[in-house]
Copies of this chain bind each other. A is one copy, B any other.
Amino acid sequence: MKQTLVKDLYRNTENYIDQQVRISGWIRTIRDSKTFGFIEINDGSFFKGVQIVFDDSLENYKEIAKLPISSSLKVEGDFIYTPQAKQPFEIKATNIEIAGTSNVDYPLQKKRHTFEYLRTIAHLRPRTNTFAAVFRVRSLAAYAIHRFFQENGFVYVHSPIITGSDTEGAGEMFRVTTLDMDNLPKNEQGQTDNTQDFFGKETNLTVSGQLSAEAFALAFRNVYTFGPTFRAENSNTARHAAEFWMIEPEVAFAELPDIMDLAEEMVKYVIGYVLENAPEEMTFFNSFVEKGLLDRLQNAHNAQFARVTYTEAIELLKQSGENFAYPVEWGLDLQTEHERYLCEKVFKKPVFVTDYPKEIKAFYMRLNEDHKTVAATDLLVPGIGELIGGSQREEREDVLAAKIKELNMNEDDYWWYLELRKYGGTKHSGYGLGFERLIMYLTGMTNIRDVIPFPRTPGNAEF
């Protein structure tokens, strides 16, 4: 008899009524009296477990009754339909095989643990309800993103992780090397001789796949990346990790409003997909992680996202009468408090802010006619602040070249990026979505360390 997944017992219950079934999984709870007992077993395929009833007709009854939780079992038994009971069904065991015995010092005992503690046992925490829900939703959201772009004809591009250039033109990168750190080769000037490194030069971990994506958008029109990116920023906040995943769609012949439409459609698609495919997990978050989560997501799913220029946003913030910690002034970047005020208090839904001052945005963003702002947009969402940052790219070779010079960037790194403009470059636009921000938005989890399987932050690279 093939093994049945618990998910299938829940989703196709009627198929199993009065049938023999065979499942396997891990003990979540176990209690027994002299002659019979109950085990809640979870097999990982589904958020909820199944109740197993077992009694001393099993020859290994006593051995089973003594098992520590998290031991793994293979169970054969009769599927008992119990539509009146709290659990819609249970399994009356006819045979139980012990697949792996756990230990009484298993750290995940019944009492509630702090998220901080659970981070120290990141190899076990996906066995808890909260993290089982988080990481299933993470998986579903990743797939929803692929589905969305693939169904819309986008080509998935694996942009390089190791890079010789710095996309954003703004430091804070991890060096990648094979040089012997205890015996570095030196050049004639007494500096480290990077020409002897693996790639013949200094290389770093990427901060963005955008420039690569642009090259591919000018061949395939619609492309996206989805891969890990890195920041060597020494900041210990609930929102920063050294390693995180980004999605970066790039669209040829698209102007700023086109990619705002795309971003809005994508966010709604992912929300809809997760609500449909993880109803148990989302209900759990709504009850135990963030009250009102489902309303917030449904609201975003149904709303038409607002659109406002940076200049208008500054006016709205100034008129608000709010006492912000950071100053509000045209030319200064918006802080999270400002972003959240705009979407939570003013618009009460996601809002695109557009056309930021050129000084606070990246070199590749297209200069507007006013010569003061660039065709950039940030999508701000309630509970999070900035979820997405995008722009129309500067497609004019001369304007871009002048900008690279003006910022004293290393022009040699950008020869090919400029050539994209020289050889039939057209208007194009794209955006970046921080995947962990999205998961926090979808689940209500408030620390980025709790939405990454094995998070990397300053001082932490365990597991």
> A170 on the interface (CB 8 Å rule)?
no
> A252 on the interface (CB 8 Å rule)?
yes
- By beta carbon, the residue of chain B nearest A191 is B182
B158 and A138 within 8 A (CB): yes
- By beta carbon, the residue of chain B nearest A131 is B219
A72 and B425 within 8 A (CB): yes
A461 and B201 within 8 A (CB): yes
B residues within 8 A CB of A452?
158
A454 and B106 within 8 A (CB): no
A159 and B454 within 8 A (CB): yes
How far apart are the CA atoms of A458 and B7 in the complex, in Å? 47
Distance between A24 CB and nearest chain B CB, rounded to angstroms: 5
How far apart are the CA atoms of A132 and B223 in the complex, in Å? 12
B residues within 8 A CB of A242?
162, 198-199
Distance between A230 CB and nearest chain B CB, rounded to angstroms: 8
A459 and B200 within 8 A (CB): yes
How far apart are the CA atoms of A162 and B422 in the complex, in Å? 37
B residues within 8 A CB of A222?
44-45
User: Which one, A29-37, A95-103, A282-290, A315-323, is touching chain B?
Assistant: A95-103
Distance between A180 CB and nearest chain B CB, rounded to angstroms: 9
Distance between A116 CB and nearest chain B CB, rounded to angstroms: 17
- By beta carbon, the residue of chain B nearest A225 is B453
User: Which one, A142-150, A294-302, A341-349, A362-370, is touching chain B?
Assistant: A142-150
> A114 on the interface (CB 8 Å rule)?
no
A44 and B220 contact, Cβ closer than 8 Å, known pairs A70-B423, A228-B227, A253-B3: yes
B427 and A153 within 8 A (CB): no
Distance between A114 CB and nearest chain B CB, rounded to angstroms: 19
A176 and B178 within 8 A (CB): no
B residues within 8 A CB of A424?
26-27, 70-72, 100-102, 106
**Cross-interface CB contact of A139 among B24, B155, B230, cutoff 8 Å:** B155
How far apart are the CA atoms of A222 and B460 in the complex, in Å? 27
B residues within 8 A CB of A420?
123
B191 and A228 within 8 A (CB): no
B residues within 8 A CB of A178?
174-175, 232
- By beta carbon, the residue of chain B nearest A186 is B182
B198 and A458 within 8 A (CB): yes
- By beta carbon, the residue of chain B nearest A164 is B461
> A416 on the interface (CB 8 Å rule)?
yes
B159 and A174 within 8 A (CB): no
B198 and A176 within 8 A (CB): no
- By beta carbon, the residue of chain B nearest A103 is B422
B residues within 8 A CB of A459?
198-200
B139 and A44 within 8 A (CB): no
How far apart are the CA atoms of A390 and B220 in the complex, in Å? 35
A216 and B453 contact, Cβ closer than 8 Å, known pairs A158-B245, A178-B175, A221-B43: yes
How far apart are the CA atoms of A25 and B219 in the complex, in Å? 9
A135 and B161 within 8 A (CB): no
Distance between A416 CB and nearest chain B CB, rounded to angstroms: 4
B residues within 8 A CB of A462?
164, 416
Contact with B along A146-184 (1 / 0, CB 8 A): 100010011111111111100000000011111101101
Max count, chain B CB within 10 A of own CB: residue among A24, A43, A158, A199: A158
How far apart are the CA atoms of A182 and B460 in the complex, in Å? 25
A135 and B220 within 8 A (CB): yes
**Cross-interface CB contact of A426 among B99, B138, B162, cutoff 8 Å:** B99
> A272 on the interface (CB 8 Å rule)?
no
B454 and A160 within 8 A (CB): yes
> A456 on the interface (CB 8 Å rule)?
yes
How far apart are the CA atoms of A452 and B124 in the complex, in Å? 35
How far apart are the CA atoms of A162 and B156 in the complex, in Å? 23
B residues within 8 A CB of A264?
none
> A74 on the interface (CB 8 Å rule)?
yes
B residues within 8 A CB of A27?
424
Residues of A at the B interface (CB closer than 8 Å) are 3, 5, 7, 24-27, 43-45, 70-72, 74, 99-103, 106, 121-124, 126-127, 132, 135-136, 138-140, 142-143, 146, 150, 153-164, 174-179, 181-182, 184, 191-192, 194, 198-201, 203, 205, 212, 215-222, 227-228, 230, 232, 234, 242-243, 245, 252-253, 395, 416-417, 419-427, 452-454, 456, 458-463
- Give 8 CB contacts A-B under 8 Å: A45-B221, A70-B423, A101-B424, A135-B157, A158-B453, A164-B463, A179-B181, A199-B461
